[in-house]
């Protein structure tokens, strides 16, 4: 899982850069819309929407824009864009399984564009169900080991109902059921323990190890998939040498 969570942390560090490109707010807006549409416009009754609002605020999205997106989701504001959620599955270099969560207004266009990205970097877009069995939907929270004591983080995880907490490289990784994400965040915040990542994602059940050119091509593929306008999240079941990951992180 280390490669998986490291990739998420790289993306977190690129948040400001993505915002400057104008892509981040667009993706957050889409998530707010579909979250409100699927579970209603009250964040107290809709955990997915609450998490989307928190992400939007952390990214500096104006409150007016957040409220407008929610109203679009609940139907209070009507526009011509018909958004649908879609899951795409495929294989990257080295046989790494990749699961993509997307929101699109044109499924055929998105499918074609994602297929080209896979082929460009030596991967293959697969059929529905080809890799989803390799993942499970979980809450993932990471805390830098430099900012907190392991016993204290463990205590927070236990109190919040987490299933597991382990040191991974320079972080502590907390794993839980998706519904426990808010409780874990609140427990950490109550003790002034900062977290570097708090999300609901697909965590791999099995790991594929990649190295050399396959590893570098995989990272380029993941980056281009993440940068696609319709893609909300990308999960992959890889592990690779830390040096390759760091080189990519510095160059990104």
Q: How far apart are CA 220 and CA 116, in angstroms?
A: 13
pLDDT tens string 1-27: 455 556 666 665 555 555 555 678 899
Helix, strand, coil % in the chain, rounded to nearest 5: 50, 25, 25
Give domain 2-74's CATH architecture: Orthogonal Bundle (1.10)
Q: What tens digit of pLDDT does each residue of 92-131 get?
A: 999 999 999 999 999 999 999 999 999 999 999 999 999 9
User: What average pLDDT does the segment 234-246 reach?
Assistant: 90
Alpha-carbon span 142 to 159, nearest angstrom: 16
What is the predicted pLDDT for the residue at 15? 55
Tell me what pLDDT residue 1 has: 43
Q: Which of 46-50, 167-171, 240-244 has the lowest mean pLDDT?
A: 167-171
For residue 57, the cross-strand partners are none
Going through 129-179 in order, the beta strands assigned E by DSSP cover 135-144, 164-168, 171-176
Cβ atoms 117, 225 nearer than 8 A: yes
**DSSP bridge partners of 100:** 88, 234
């Amino acid at each position: 899982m280390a490669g998986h969570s490291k990739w998420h942390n790289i993306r977190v560090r690129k948040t400001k850069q993505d915002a400057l490109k104008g892509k981040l707010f667009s993706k957050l807006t889409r998530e707010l819309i579909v979250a409100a549409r699927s579970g209603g416009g009250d964040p107290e009754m809709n955990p997915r929407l609450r998490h989307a609002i928190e992400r939007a605020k952390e990214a500096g999205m104006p409150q007016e824009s957040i409220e407008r997106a929610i109203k679009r989701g609940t139907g209070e504001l009507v526009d011509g864009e018909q958004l649908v959620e879609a899951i795409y599955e495929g294989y990257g270099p080295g046989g790494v399984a990749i699961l993509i969560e997307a929101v699109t207004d044109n499924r055929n266009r998105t499918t074609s564009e994602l297929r080209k990205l896979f082929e460009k970097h030596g991967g293959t877009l697969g059929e529905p169900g080809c890799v989803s069995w390799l993942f499970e939907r979980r809450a993932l929270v990471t805390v830098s080991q430099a900012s907190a004591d392991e016993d204290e983080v463990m205590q927070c995880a236990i109190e919040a109902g987490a299933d597991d907490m382990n040191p991974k490289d320079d972080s502590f990784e907390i794993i839980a059921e998706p519904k426990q994400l808010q409780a874990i965040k609140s427990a950490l915040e109550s003790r002034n323990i900062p977290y570097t990542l708090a999300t609901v994602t697909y965590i791999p059940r099995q790991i594929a190890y990649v190295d050399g050119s396959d590893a570098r091509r995989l990272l380029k593929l993941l980056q281009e998939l993440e940068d696609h306008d319709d893609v909300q999240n990308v999960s992959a079941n890889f592990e690779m040498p830390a040096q390759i990951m760091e080189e990519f992180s510095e160059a990104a």
